[in-house]
Amino acid sequence: MSIRTIADISPAELPEHAARLLADGHRLALISARQDTGGFALAYLFVAGRPDRRTELRLRVPSEQPAVPSLAGLSFPAGRFEREIRDLYGITPLDHPLPRRLVRHHHWPRGWYPMRTDAGPPPSFGDPEGPYPFVTVEGQGVYEIPVGPVHAGLIEPGHFRFSVVGETIIKLKARLWFVHKGIEKLFEGRHPADGLELAERVSGDTGVGHALAYCLAVEEATQVPVSAQAQRARAVLLELERLYNHVTDLGALCNDVAFSILHAHTGRIREQLLRLNAEVTGHRLLRGGVRLGGAHLKALPDPDRLHAIGADVAEIAELALRHSVVADRFTGTAVLSGEAARDLGTLGYVARASGLDLDARRDHPFTDLGDFTPARRTSGDVLARFQIRAEEIAASIALITQLIDEPTAAADPPPPEGSSSGVGLVEGWRGTIAHRIELAPDGTLIRVKVVDPSFFNWPALPVALNSAIVPDFPLVNKSFNLSYAGNDL
Amino acid sequence: MSGVVGAVLQVIVIAVGSPLLVGVMRQVRARLEGRAGAGIAQPWRDLRKLMRKEAIAPHGTGWVFRAAPPLLAGTALVVAAVVPLVTTASPLDGVADLFAVTALLALGSVALALAALDTGTAFGGMGASREMTVLALVEPTILVSIFALSIRVGSTSLGSIVTATVEDPLSVISPVSVLAAVALAIVTIAETGRIPVDNPSTHLELTMIHEAMVLEYAGPDLALIEWASAMRLSVLLGLLASLFFPLGISGASTGALALLVSVIALVVKVTLMGALLAAGEVFMAKLRLFRVPELLAGSFLLALLAVAASFFLA
């Protein structure tokens, strides 16, 4: 099962190795740092699909003036991970093209690195940075619209600064990172079994996705075998989570163009799905279903009910797209080109709507899903993201039916080879979730790195919105529907 | 005398009934969407709640901000007194013809837009700019389409136009009326901020037109604006009904019973039109903002055709 190859390298060798892996079709899944006696250990995880390949580059830097060569020129996400690590650990990326703070809150004191072992309790907020350095767009008729971080409605905090001429967006700056909870730090020192409930709560709507990625990582590190039956049950839970979230968002997209009758009906279907979730796991948001070493289902979902729901959703999607005004609002709105989606390293339905062929269910399978082909569109607009999600609902129902109906033919896989660290890659409903854990010799967690696909997808939103109009922003934002909590850990 | 009583009656009916009309429209919408709805008295309960709160004005705002809500409500009340809804013989009819009515409606809108600018917020400016874009196309369309109807009568007095229609109901069935009716219906939707031009129930600040202008208002000021908006909706629907279906409307000298019948007729007509509008909204989505001028320019063209037709077919 363990297909992870690990190479210990020196910092100077990093760019060369990374360039080779990226050229070989890998993408950077995460960079994880850890402080130990005498320095920092960094792990760069590169992954590629078909066949599933995971390569980890490990290197050490000293604790005095820690620095690594920057990979920002090779990979855009790498540049963002490096800024994250710089803000949390104080490891400087050398020759970084955009060495601004990322995670570090505006009001944190300078030089305080919360993930270091000697960080201590959170300091009181100050104002070391002065006003936030928004780039001002100059020119005749340009004005700014500041929105947030407190919004109308139940939305997480994020500040959006639009520079606008008339109604056309010239530049959008999304200022996030208002919700740092120190969740990665909370994992430290816990027993793996006690970390599960934390992982389940990384992002409220992705309980199964994060719990499963965490469990896969822990199971690889502790060499716990998981029966094929349990893995299939986990796959069912993952698809159930995708179902209720996709249905909700299809309705929300219709609501954003004031077509609220479909929103009301998706609300009805969402409630049916949540009740189904409660029957399957005892929790409406599927918490407690994924366990370390297995899964716990009270009952299997009834395929007939799911098929009825699928027909209902298909009708709603068709009604929406046959409505000329709705179709007009969706079509051609906020196009994210395939090239931009690839360069920014986007994941999930955002990537697939722009023509990228990425899906961890096929690229990094933890159970055999047979001949699974992810939905894909190339237009990259709101319409494509809407259609992808409608298609994924149908695909999820087909997958659940297949997982329930087919007898478990596969033999239980052998236990993973242990290495005191482990990686879990799971296609959550937003995209590929990556967890990487490291265990101390006594079996407790010393480092858990969590990456929600929102971390990769947030930079794509302003790119897609370039030259869109202001009143379309809520619709476009909903079509991406990125997590703030999963992004800012 | 009955003209004065009629005018007083229609002001009272509009003032009391408008929030109920909004309640009916929300309820129709909720039921059609399979929701329970809050009941038709909910807008009144909201107004009561808002009236009990203290008045708050944002820092840096001046008299323009404070004057806008009373001005908006005042113009709506005056229009309610002038427009032939219950009676065609309003004592104010002589001094307030269709140009005065349009100007009064525009005065309220402009006051609100200026107040939105006075707040100095981006949303206020954004809402004001959008409202003016809509207003610039709506007001001429109202003028021109009613003007088309006035040519037949030879007077710009709304009372005379409606009286002429009462005396000869079949005269409504003409290309002029149809064109003018469609144009007026579209601008009524735009003027009152309904779907597909604006969405009165959205919480998304960036998509708002009317609501973006009133974001900074709270308490009694907000209540006044909500109430005035409801009155403008009722008056415009009532005017539409009077112009094209003046059934039951009272003339210059009628008794108390006839006035009562007129009031009931007004309530029934406006409720029906409101319900129809709400039912239509269920099947509509909001247009992209840049498509709104296209829609309104289309309605202006219809109004212009109505005027042309009234000359050629007269």
Predicted complex ipTM: 0.88
Interface check for B120 against chain A (CB to CB < 8 A): the answer is no
Sheet containing strand A421-427, strands side by side: A421-427, A432-439, A445-451
Q: Which amino acid is at A470?
A: V
B35 touches chain A (CB under 8 A): yes
The closest alpha carbon to A428, from A284, A243, A153, A180, belongs to A243
Cβ atoms of B89 and B159 closer than 8 Å: yes
**CB-based contact A258 B286, cutoff 8 Å:** yes
Give the contacts of B308 (CB within 8 A, at least 6 positions apart): none
Q: Which two three-digit tokens encode residue B291?
A: 């498509």
Residue B58, min C-alpha distance to chain A (Å): 17
A253 min Cα distance to partner chain B (Å): 11
Residues of B whose CB is below 8 A from A473 = 206
Separation between Cα atoms, residue A310 and residue A328, nearest integer Å: 25
**Domain limits, chain A:** 1-132, 183-460
B302 sits in which H/E element = helix B292-312
Q: Which of A354, A324, A320 is nearest to A461 (CA)?
A: A354
- A418, pLDDT greater than 80: no
Contact A178, A488 (CB under 8 A): yes
Work out the minimum CA distance from A457 to partner chain B, whole angstroms.
Answer: 22
> Would you give the DSSP letter of residue A468?
-
Pick the CATH number of A1-132 from 3.20.20.60, 3.40.50.720, 3.40.50.620, 3.30.460.80: 3.30.460.80
Q: Residue A470's closest chain B neighbor by CA?
A: B206
Binding-site members of A for Mg(2+) are 184, 450
Give the pLDDT of residue A417: 61
Would you state the pLDDT for residue A410? 62
Distance CA B3, CA A114 (A): 78
The CATH classification of domain A183-460, taken from the options 1.10.645.10, 3.40.50.620, 3.30.499.10, 3.40.50.850 = 1.10.645.10
Q: What is the bridge-based pairing of β-strands A432-439 and A421-427? A: antiparallel
Please count the other Cβ atoms lying within 10 Å of the Cβ belonging to residue B35.
16
What does R_g of chain B's alpha carbons equal in angstroms?
19
Shortest Cα distance from B63 to chain A (angstroms)?
Answer: 25
Question: Which amino acid, one-letter code, is at A41?
Answer: A
Q: Under a CB-based contact definition with an 8 Å cutoff, are residues A77 and A434 in contact?
A: no
pLDDT score recorded for residue A286: 93
Please state at what angle helix B219-244 crosses helix B256-282, rounded to 10 degrees.
100
Closest Cβ opposite residue B199 in set A258, A325, A470: A258
CB contact under 8 A, A268 and B34: yes
Alpha helices in A140-259 (DSSP H): 183-187, 192-200, 207-222, 228-256
Task: Retrieve residue B226's tokens.
Answer: 């909500």
DSSP bridge pairs for A451: A434
Residue A72 scores a pLDDT above 50: yes
Element (H, E) at A59: strand A53-61
pLDDT tens digit string along A33-54? 999 888 999 999 999 988 889 9
B166: helix, strand or coil:
helix
B181 Cβ partners below 8 Å, 6+ apart? B240, B243, B244
Does pTM surpass 0.80?
yes
A165 touches chain B (CB under 8 A): no
For residue B88, what are the CA distances in angstroms to A272, B108, B168, B184, B237?
Answer: 55, 24, 15, 20, 16
Q: Which tens digits make up the pLDDT trace of B53-88?
A: 998 899 989 999 999 999 999 999 999 999 999 888
Digitized pLDDT (tens) for each residue of chain B, 314 residues in all: 678 888 999 999 999 999 999 999 999 999 999 899 999 999 999 999 999 999 889 998 999 999 999 999 999 999 999 999 988 888 887 777 888 999 999 999 999 999 999 998 888 888 999 999 999 999 999 999 988 888 888 888 888 888 888 888 888 888 888 999 999 999 999 988 888 888 888 888 888 888 889 989 999 999 999 999 999 999 999 999 999 888 888 877 778 888 899 999 999 999 999 999 999 999 988 888 888 999 999 999 999 999 999 888 76
- Kindly indicate the confidence band of residue A150, based on its pLDDT and cuts at 50, 70 and 90: confident
Residues 6+ apart with CB under 8 A from A64: none
**Which of B29, B286, B289 has its CB closest to that of A167?**
B289
Angle B2-32/B219-244 helices, nearest 10 degrees? 100
pLDDT of residue A38: 85
What is the SS3 assignment for A213?
Answer: helix
DSSP string, B209-268: SHHHHTTT--HHHHHHHHHHHHHHHHHHHHHHHHHH--TT-B-SS--HHHHHHHHHHHHH
Query: From the centroid of its chain, how far is CA A115?
Result: 21
For chain B, the 3-state helix, strand and coil shares in percent, each to the nearest 5, are: 75, 0, 25
CB pairs under 8 A between A and B: 75
